[in-house]
């Protein structure tokens, strides 16, 4: 009795450990392949999404890189939420992603379990000894695939002691006799594991040990395909309407495909039997042909499907909080290149608020409008909130392994948001207070002094716009021009201070009354120039300029 309990526990631990190593292997392989693909993933999206066939091929490539069609669809949910792609562009990529995940299952079906120690050793040595990032990423990917094969070997060994148990045989017969049970169970397991490849890997191991027939495997294949759409569906909750439509497209394509083939499982099994001599390969082929069939069915119907989903998932009433981040999607944190791009877009959105605040500066010194000052203060609160959200997002991102280029990009975005916040603070805490002081005291600038302030502000405003454009376009030449402008602006500030002092000596009453406010405005505008120059420095990678107080 004790031996039976010990044997049962051993089998249980072996199966649990095998599933854990399988999931870890899939994660490692995906991480390594993503690093190898690098920035190409981001740049490919805009070029391939215009063509359905190219988009489908890209989806297959993306899913092979991510090692999960679930992860690919979650990524697409994030990209549509961020406005990078539309629903009609996402559907072919989803169909391709489902094809791409079959490549992993086909690879697993080669049954090279005994080579797993050699593959793990090779991957470990490559990633440990490689000095170049790409070679190290290749080693991590190989190591991941080694773990996948090791896990399948463990699962196979764990199933051998129980294959003759009556309750196991009875359970497998029930799956064959009631395929709906197999579909539901496989869908639930896949949704829990976030990977159809993991579920089908288990099915391959069972098939290799004679625990499963092709007739019993087909419901598991259908269930795994349905379950793989669940993570993206859950990820779309609370997302934009476009993101929810993308998730719904994945769910509906799988459900419709399963419903269409369900009545024909027997002839489908007979046909699949002719495609290979071994059961693991037949299971892999059935998975591949099912997803190829989905692509052939839905690819010509992309536009009608997109229109139908647009009708089915209607947008909520419009209400937008400007302080709520628009592009910081947590679902993209697993792919740093996309996440950094979205953080940069949010930082540029934050820059738009700062530019709008700064452009209002002449008005606060020419109009006695308290409501204008309050509006600018509200905008500064938005800037502060966005700054905190961007920092928090990038902090979460930095928990992943970033390449050197990605780390540099992260630092540049943080530098930009820091300088933008400082510019906002100068406007809010200094220039707004000076404006209130002028309003409450009833002081006025001389005509010449006011024109000089407006012209100086215009000079700096143009410089700010140029720095933001340089960051957005990563234009080094434009950034260098901003840096060169700093000396000219400093010289102009000195000239304007001297001009103001001359008017004081001439005894102009407005100049005398507004002198302290006038000079403080010049000083604060000059401080803003230092932060603008710092933005330009972050673009060319020479580090932020020293700020002047």
HSE at residue 172, side-chain half, CA atoms within 13 A, is: 20
Sole residue written with tokens 């593959």:
119
pLDDT digits (tens, 9 = 90+) for 29-74: 656 655 655 555 555 665 666 678 888 887 787 776 655 566 666 6
If we measure between CA atoms, which residue out of 233, 227, 288, 286 comes closest to residue 254?
Answer: 227
Tracing tokens 């269409």 back to the chain, one arrives at 260
The token duo for 369 is 């409008």
Closest CA to 212 of 153, 259, 158, 171: 171
For 435-464, the DSSP string reads HHHHHHHT----HHHHHHHHHHHHHHHHHH
Cβ atoms 36, 133 nearer than 8 A: no
Give the model's pLDDT for residue 547: 39
Tally of CA atoms within 13 A in the half-sphere of 126 that contains its CB: 20
CB 31 within 8 A of CB 133: no
Q: Taking the CA atoms of the chain, what radius of gyration do you get in angstroms?
A: 31
Number of Cα atoms under 13 Å in the Cβ half of residue 151: 26
- Structure tokens belonging to residue 89: 């562009």
CA 255 remoteness from chain centre: 27
Per the listing, tokens 């890189």 go with 65
> Rounded to whole angstroms, how far apart are CA atoms 18 and 201?
11
Which positions ≥6 away from 491 have C-beta within 8 Å?
Answer: none
pTM of the model: 0.61
**For the chain, domain boundaries:** 14-312, 330-540
Q: Tell which residue, 346, 475, 488, 473, has the closest CA to residue 420.
A: 346
Q: How far apart are CA 321 and CA 257, in angstroms?
A: 40
d(CA 444, CA 452) in angstroms, rounded, equals 14
CATH fold group of domain 330-540: Methane Monooxygenase Hydroxylase; Chain G, domain 1 (1.20.58)
Q: Is the dihedral of CA 350, 450, 547, 372 positive or negative?
A: negative
Give pLDDT < 50 ranges for the chain.
1-3, 163, 542-549
Judge contact between 197 and 284, C-beta under 8 A: no
Element (H, E) at 405: helix 404-425
Q: Write the Ramachandran bin of 474: left for phi over 0, alpha for psi from -120 to 50, otherwise beta.
A: left
Can you give the three-state secondary structure of 244-295, one letter per residue? Answer: HHHHHHHHHHHHHHHHHHHHHHHHHHHHHHCCCCCHHHHHHHHHHHHHHHHH
Rounded to the nearest angstrom, the gap between the alpha carbon of residue 340 and the centroid of all alpha carbons in its chain is 8
Count of C-beta atoms within a 10 Å radius of residue 330: 12
Q: Evaluate the CA torsion angle 494, 499, 504, 506 in order and state its sign.
A: positive
Helix ranges, 160-278 (H): 166-177, 179-193, 196-208, 214-227, 230-235, 241-261, 265-273
CB atoms within 10 A of CB 482: 28
Return left, alpha or beta for 194; rule: phi > 0 is left, psi -120 to 50 is alpha, else beta: left
Measure Cα distances from 34 to 46, 145, 201 in Å. Answer: 18, 14, 22
Helix (H, G, I), strand (E, B) or coil at 58: helix
Nearest to 249 by CA among 193, 191, 313: 313
Token digits of residue 141 = 């990917």
Distance, CA of 100 to CA of 87 (rounded, Å): 20
Alpha-carbon distance of 80 to 481, in angstroms, equals: 36
Q: Report how far residue 59's alpha carbon sits from residue 76's, in angstroms, rounded to the nearest whole number.
A: 10
The sign one gets for the Cα dihedral 536, 542, 543, 549 is negative
Task: Please check whether residue 2 is in contact with residue 8, taking contact to mean a CB–CB distance below 8 angstroms.
Answer: no
Please choose, from the candidates 164, 148, 65, 139, the residue with its C-alpha nearest in 3D space to the C-alpha of residue 112.
Answer: 148
């Amino acid at each position: 009795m004790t031996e039976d309990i010990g044997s049962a526990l051993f089998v249980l631990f072996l199966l649990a450990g095998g599933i854990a190593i399988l999931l870890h292997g899939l994660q490692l392989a995906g991480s390594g392949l993503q690093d190898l693909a690098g920035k190409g993933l981001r740049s490919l999206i805009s070029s391939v999404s215009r063509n359905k066939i190219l988009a489908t091929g890209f989806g297959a490539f993306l899913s092979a890189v991510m090692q999960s069609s679930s992860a690919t669809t979650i990524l697409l949910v994030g990209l549509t939420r961020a406005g990078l792609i539309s629903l009609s562009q996402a559907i072919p990529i989803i169909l391709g992603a489902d094809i791409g995940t079959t490549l992993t299952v086909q690879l697993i079906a080669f049954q090279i379990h005994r080579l797993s120690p050699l593959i793990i050793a090779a991957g470990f040595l490559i990633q440990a000894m490689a000095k170049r990032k790409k070679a190290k990423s290749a080693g991590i990917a190989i190591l991941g695939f080694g773990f996948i094969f090791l896990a399948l070997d463990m699962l196979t060994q764990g199933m051998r002691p129980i294959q003759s148990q009556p309750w196991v045989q009875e359970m497998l017969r029930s799956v064959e006799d009631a395929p709906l049970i197999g579909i539901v169970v496989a869908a639930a397991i896949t949704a829990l594991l976030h990977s159809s490849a993991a579920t089908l890997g288990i099915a391959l191991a069972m098939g290799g040990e004679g625990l499963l027939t092709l007739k019993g495997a087909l419901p598991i294949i259908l269930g795994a395909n349905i379950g793989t759409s669940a993570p993206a569906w859950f990820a779309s909750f609370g997302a934009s309407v476009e993101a929810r439509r993308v998730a719904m497209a994945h769910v509906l394509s799988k459900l419709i495909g399963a419903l269409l083939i369900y009545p024909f499982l027997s002839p489908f099994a007979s046909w699949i039997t002719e495609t290979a001599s071994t059961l693991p390969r037949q299971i892999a082929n059935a998975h591949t042909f099912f997803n190829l069939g989905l692509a052939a069915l839905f690819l010509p119907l992309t536009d009608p499907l997109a229109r139908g989903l647009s009708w089915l998932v209607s947008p909520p009433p419009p209400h937008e909080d400007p302080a709520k981040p628009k592009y910081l999607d947590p679902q993209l944190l697993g792919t740093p290149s996309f996440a950094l791009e979205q953080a940069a877009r949010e930082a540029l959105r934050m820059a738009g608020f700062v530019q709008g605040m700064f452009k209002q500066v002449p008005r606060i010194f020419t109009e006695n409008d308290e409501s204008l000052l309050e509006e600018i203060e509200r905008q500064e609160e938005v800037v502060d909130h966005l700054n905190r959200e961007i920092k928090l997002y990038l902090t979460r991102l930095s928990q992943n392994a970033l390449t050197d280029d990605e780390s540099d990009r992260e630092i540049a975005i943080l530098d930009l948001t820091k300088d933008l916040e400082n510019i906002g603070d100068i406007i809010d805490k200094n220039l707004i207070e000076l404006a209130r002081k002028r309003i409450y005291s009833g002081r006025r600038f001389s005509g010449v002094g006011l024109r000089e302030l407006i012209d100086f502000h215009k000079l700096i405003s143009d410089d700010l716009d140029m720095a933001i454009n340089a960051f957005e376009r990563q234009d080094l030449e434009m950034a260098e021009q901003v840096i060169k402008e700093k000396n000219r602006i400093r010289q102009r500030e000195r000239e304007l201070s001297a001009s103001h002092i001359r008017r004081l000596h001439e005894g102009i009453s407005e100049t005398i009354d507004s002198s302290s406010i006038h000079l403080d405005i010049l000083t604060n505008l000059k401080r803003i120039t230092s932060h603008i120059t710092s933005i330009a420095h972050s673009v060319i990678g020479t580090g932020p300029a020293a700020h002047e107080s």
